């Protein structure tokens, strides 16, 4: 991959404070501003830069200005049981609404062993991995997914196998398991082979992409990044198992969109109709599970450590000197960035300075 230009580095706590303050100045309630800053800094600390402070202006502040995103998330519980809740995100800041929803799932898990929360009418909630990461702080298993399913074509979406138009967003799923001394195991994966911005980067660099990342406007797999209209599900082609990535994408959409009620607002009387469907905003699914429902926590965590070590000890393929586990690279990046600061590209730096000027919040490197 081409090196990303870096204009500056900034300490994580300084950046967190800045993000929190500009959110507040934009009308986000103080506690929600802290939660939202936590989500963005999690991604920026761990090197998940596609989901970090890079999005502050183009997704969240531009969303406030255009009115599609309300700074004050008016989330509410629509229905609940001791172990579940169906909630409405209130078309507010998805970052803050989602932290609230994951806390609700964790409270239910604390009391009843498991908690599951499905949310509709939300917006972009940052890195899916943050919410399972919250569960880790309480030594629970954490699960999170986010999805849109499209009844009509949608730019940049993911095709079903044999399809020529998109029907899904990249529908990521994330799950975490607590460990003892090893870094926490944390999987955060889109159910597409790659995200669209990976293809755009290859296009900018005039590089061919592997067959299986995306298809052209007719649904034909292509190696030309400038021809890609839609993403392929994980697996890429039927021969390489794309029906599995497609199946996982559908699973995520059902658990998010359908359990939350985010996929039937306009349902009419004609059961054969799907054209009337409206998907309004993002839907999410959050779950927390207490390990001691099955085994003593320490036994589980010791077993996780041993599994991870067994994987680390796997003989390596030629050209590779490590076998990683999920979340390990991000954990090491986090250690390094907490020490050396978070790198900012010129574009992000300009965005942050513009927000600093607009909202009167000092921005110092």
Q: Is the sign of the CA dihedral 235, 154, 146, 28 positive or negative?
A: positive
- Residue 162 touching a second copy (CB under 8 A): yes
Segment 136-155, which members bind a second copy (CB under 8 A)? 149-151, 153
Shortest CB 104 distance to a second copy, Å = 14
Shortest CB 149 distance to a second copy, Å = 6
Q: Which of 173, 194, 195, 176 is nearest to 186 (CA)?
A: 176
Contact assessment for residue 297 and residue 139, using Cβ atoms and an 8 Å cutoff: yes
Contact assessment for residue 202 and residue 263, using Cβ atoms and an 8 Å cutoff: no
The SS3 assignment for 87 reads: strand
Q: Smaller CB distance to a second copy: residue 71 or 178?
A: 178
Binding mask 87-106 for a second copy (x = CB under 8 A): --------------------
Contact assessment for residue 299 and residue 117, using Cβ atoms and an 8 Å cutoff: no
Q: Smaller CB distance to a second copy: residue 14 or 307?
A: 307
Q: What is the dihedral of CA 37, 40, 44, 50, to 10 degrees?
A: -160
The SS3 assignment for 268 reads: coil
- Residue 247 touching a second copy (CB under 8 A): yes
Q: Is the sign of the CA dihedral 200, 201, 206, 207 positive or negative?
A: negative
- Residue 159 touching a second copy (CB under 8 A): yes
The torsion angles phi and psi of 20, rounded to 5 degrees, stand at -60, -45
Number of residues that bind a second copy (CB under 8 A): 95
Q: Smaller CB distance to a second copy: residue 265 or 340?
A: 265
Q: Smaller CB distance to a second copy: residue 29 or 219?
A: 219
Q: Smaller CB distance to a second copy: residue 313 or 364?
A: 313
Q: Smaller CB distance to a second copy: residue 322 or 339?
A: 322
Candidates 6, 30, 273, 365: give the one binding a second copy (CB under 8 A). 273
Half-sphere exposure of 3 (CA within 13 A, CB side): 4
CA distances from 2 to 6, 135, 205, 341 (A): 12, 35, 8, 21
Q: Smaller CB distance to a second copy: residue 32 or 283?
A: 283
Segment 293-332, which members bind a second copy (CB under 8 A)? 293-295, 299-300, 302-307, 309-311, 313-318, 320, 322-326
Half-sphere exposure of 243 (CA within 13 A, CB side): 3
Segment 44-63, which members bind a second copy (CB under 8 A)? none
Q: Smaller CB distance to a second copy: residue 71 or 212?
A: 212
Find the DSSP H helices in 26-115: 30-45, 62-66, 94-112
Give the β-pairing of 114-122 and 84-88.
Answer: parallel
- Residue 272 touching a second copy (CB under 8 A): yes
- Residue 258 touching a second copy (CB under 8 A): yes
Candidates 25, 138, 203, 243: give the one binding a second copy (CB under 8 A). 243
Name the region of 241 (left: φ>0; alpha: ψ -120 to 50; beta: rest). left
Candidates 164, 201, 297, 349: give the one binding a second copy (CB under 8 A). 164
CA distances from 55 to 44, 99, 147, 155, 260 (A): 10, 17, 18, 19, 26
Shortest CB 141 distance to a second copy, Å = 8
Q: Smaller CB distance to a second copy: residue 53 or 291?
A: 291
Segment 171-210, which members bind a second copy (CB under 8 A)? 175, 177, 180-181, 185, 187, 189, 193-194, 210
Shortest CB 78 distance to a second copy, Å = 9
């Amino acid at each position: 991959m081409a090196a990303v230009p870096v204009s500056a580095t900034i300490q994580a706590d300084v950046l967190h404070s800045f993000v929190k303050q500009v959110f507040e100045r934009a009308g986000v309630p103080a506690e929600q501003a802290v939660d939202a800053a936590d989500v963005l800094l999690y991604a920026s600390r761990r090197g998940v830069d596609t989901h970090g402070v890079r999005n502050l202006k183009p997704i969240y502040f531009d969303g406030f200005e255009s009115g599609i995103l309300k700074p004050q998330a008016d989330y509410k519980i629509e229905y609940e049981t001791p172990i579940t809740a169906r909630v409405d995100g209130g078309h507010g800041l998805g970052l803050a609404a989602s932290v609230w929803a994951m806390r609700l799932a964790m409270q239910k898990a604390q009391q009843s062993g498991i908690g599951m929360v499905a949310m509709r009418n939300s917006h972009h909630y940052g890195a899916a991995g943050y919410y399972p990461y919250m569960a880790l702080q309480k030594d629970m298993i954490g699960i999170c997914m986010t999805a849109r399913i499209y009844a009509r074509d949608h730019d940049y979406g993911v095709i079903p196998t044999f399809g020529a138009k998109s029907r899904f967003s990249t529908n990521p799923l994330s799950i975490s398991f607590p460990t003892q001394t090893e870094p926490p195991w944390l999987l955060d994966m889109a159910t597409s082979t790659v995200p669209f911005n990976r293809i755009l980067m290859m296009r900018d660099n005039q590089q061919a992409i592997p067959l299986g990342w995306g298809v052209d406007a007719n649904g034909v797999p292509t190696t030309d990044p400038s021809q890609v209209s839609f993403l392929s599900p994980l697996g890429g082609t039927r021969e390489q198992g794309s029906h599995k990535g497609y199946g996982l994408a559908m699973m995520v959409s059902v658990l998010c969109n359908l359990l939350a009620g985010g996929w039937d607002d306009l349902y009419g009387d004609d059961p054969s109709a799907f054209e009337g469907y409206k998907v309004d905003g993002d839907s999410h699914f959050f779950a927390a599970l207490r390990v001691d429902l099955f085994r003593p926590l320490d036994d589980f965590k010791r077993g996780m450590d041993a599994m991870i070590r067994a994987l680390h000890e796997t003989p390596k393929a030629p050209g590779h000197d490590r076998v990683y586990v999920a979340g390990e690279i991000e954990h090491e990046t986090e250690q390094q960035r907490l020490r050396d600061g978070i790198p900012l590209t010129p574009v992000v730096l300009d965005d942050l300075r513009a927000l600093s000027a607009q909202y009167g919040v000092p921005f110092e490197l």
